[in-house]
Chain A
């Protein structure tokens, strides 16, 4: 049953809509994940990551934004499905690039089936996402379908460019990225497909294309940055069972998080030498002692606390931008959901 009114508190509203819109998306997702040939090395594996669960933040935000701006829920479901498929495609490829070992509590796809098969599965997920976007034509008409498709193309392009920046830092063992560099990378790598595209596409669908999507840049950036910094924090201090990825995996990978960038800025000369040496070593060459040492130095220099406060600052700015952006949007469950997400991204465990 679709609920149109809710007395849920902000704390309850986010899980409530994530559950409701997530379920709608999962059902629609099944149309694209049905058993087909070749099953063993492709379509069975294509369904693997989506079936492992996930919070369905992105599709839910897309549907909520569309509804807040006046669309019927069904108008945004195809786009939400496309986003979830592309999100899973990014995850599969990310895991290969990062040499990650677990995803959503289970071994990553390339660990289970090999890099070659995993990369192909990621490609297939991207193409299925494209198919879902084309299927928008049934409900949105040709013009709006093209408009959403163009947004999706930009989202994908920004995301891979952001990923390239981060991979480049690791490949070149960059030790001088600043906080601004980090936020720029996050804007492209995370914000575009986690918050910007869901809001922009949703608002375009809700207004039938009568809104300038660039209005969402500030809000989407600050919300996405709060999300990413919190995600990076959870990698260091979270509950591994709930987090679903290996704890301290970012340190093993040498990922340039805000905490590591802070440590590179604050470390003493001796610490700098050791830190650069560890980061110059391939992942397989790093020891538990190295990772534990980096983690301890982060605590000693207040890097964790700095990142936590920065995440809160980003969330505060997001709330400010939300008030500007949604001032004219009528109050309702979807508007309140988007607002409540700001606190939710910080409170995740």
Chain B
């Protein structure tokens, strides 16, 4: 349903008014309606108030935030998908258990031999480890990993809350084990109480990769077309779909960060000619570092939906020679008929349908184009853990009247959905069943709802099918019993 800017603003006022005063004040800056806006990415005068949406600050106690923690950002997002090393959840059993294979980072290799992604390695802290410290245990664990998994190229130690609180020197243990075992043992200080969300965990993980991985290898045969994929976690095979296009373009993907990633190839990334960033939020840090330290330029791209894929292919190709530029046009022409077919099949069923998004790192903006390719309209979007630079990149892409919400509470999201009545909500598992109970079609947009890939030319037909399936499923017609006369 379309609402005017005035109506929406009035509704937000009313919504905020139900909070205790202190909470109302804290929350009001996080909710906004897009009014009018030029391209504000340069921070020029055209910046409107919407672009100043408050972000990356502490969640308010007791409000039901969807946010996670630094451990989730480090182990769950950045480190976890690297397949040829063991990621130890260091501390009590829970964190590793809840993040065990739940992010759908697909990886090649034989589990337990040279792929350690679908595992929960934990030091399973007991009371005595809290009291006496876990250093000794950590060393024993590293030795045991080395014995049982001889092909593991390294170990990352992902700290859980207690580790930082009891003051264990995991850096010293890691150094000792690194020397003793002759494999990379990397301490990561991603205790869950650090920072305000997953986001600090991404940053900490980037920093540890910078300090312990980057630059540690030598690329045998560097070439002019060497690139790295940065910030694609291969959810449902996304990174493979992206890699395929880049290779078709004539580029050589030296490393994948970190979906289906390998420690060994990540060490070579400083040798590439261009870093290609998909999830800016979680990996801009390492790209900036490589730019400063090695002079490697980086480029953001977007492989969701044909419009964005084409634009991205052209901007990537423009960084290379004529051969690559020609290839880009060839690829675009080659896939155009198939993409047109997808659009013509689904646009008829989805044209004009409205969507509210609430997701993580890149998706609140990156998927907009894919929806628009299908004739759909984004009428609300927000980030769980975005920063100001994410909103600056997002708001120009939104139409006037679009709702913007940062670190939205479950209460706010429920009320906003009831108010603007979108045809589809795309968010996470915590939100999914709330909206389905309301009879609102929903897709999980973190895990692709166990589907995917959604990236690249391989992904778009699946994306289109899934959105159609969610919105046009005949099942929604069954929600009300035929004898129930009350019309909603």
| Genuine A/B complex | no
Residues of A within 8 A of B (CB): none
Residues of B within 8 A of A (CB): none
